[in-house]
Amino acid sequence: MDPTSQIIVALDCDNRATADAVVERLGDECRFYKVGLELLTAAGPDVIKGLVTQGKEVFLDLKLFEIPNSVAGAVRAAGALGVSMVTVHGMGGSGIMSAAVEAARDFPHLRVLALTVVTSMTDADLADIGVSDAVDQQVLRLARLAQKAGCHGVIASPRDVATLRSTLGPDALIITPGVALPGESLAEHARPGTPHAAITAGASHVVVGRTVTRATDPAAAFRFVRSSLTP
């Protein structure tokens, strides 16, 4: 896969103007953007329409966790907006994931990805909600459940990628947030890794945020991340 297509830049912004400025400064360098709850709530679906109109791919990271009918409705709305990927929460179980996959069938370009365990969570956090297994065990359980439900792939930390690739096979999408270049700090992620390590382990895409969006020269930072993906 072309390294440029493997990088998803996270527009974790609280307003449309800031997001638009990042996209403008990156220009043709970046093809794929993540829109999450913060930007969608602040700017509404027009921000997605704007990206799609520019020929960009959009990863809509909603982590849907609702009754199956509501999840299906949200997935159909995402498909109508032209997004390429949408996330559901694996903890919601087979019913939610299957409903999302079925709703996406009307949109051939749309891929449904299941969140396994949020990258900020630890074994202790899982224990707090009654999950006695370790994070790596829970990630694998939910990934298998997602594949059985028909999901196109999963969201997981860089440290989970190698095991997931061997379990899910070569065709599954594995998207990894929580990546940073050597020397950078990602304190909010309990299980981080470098973009190079994630891709080498078998990730299909990496999600990068402030490494690029807060750089003095975002385009140069993007190119540096891209160069780090290859030996």
Residues 100-145: tens digit of each pLDDT: 999 999 999 999 999 999 888 889 999 999 999 999 999 999 999 9
Q: Which of 34, 49, 63, 148 is catalytic?
A: 63
Which pLDDT tens digit goes with each residue over 150-179? 999 999 999 999 999 999 999 999 999 978
Q: pLDDT at position 230, please?
A: 80
**Does residue 63 carry a catalytic annotation?**
yes
Whole-number Å distance between alpha carbons of 97 and 214: 34
Farthest CA pair distance, the chain: 46
Cα Rg of the chain, angstroms: 17
pLDDT in tens, 177-199: 978 877 676 655 566 688 999 99
pTM comes to 0.93
State how far the Cα of 115 lies from the Cα of 155, in Å rounded to an integer.
5
Question: In the chain, what are the domains?
Answer: 3-228 (3.20.20.70)
Interval 74-94 mean pLDDT: 97
- Residue for token pair 């996330």: 87
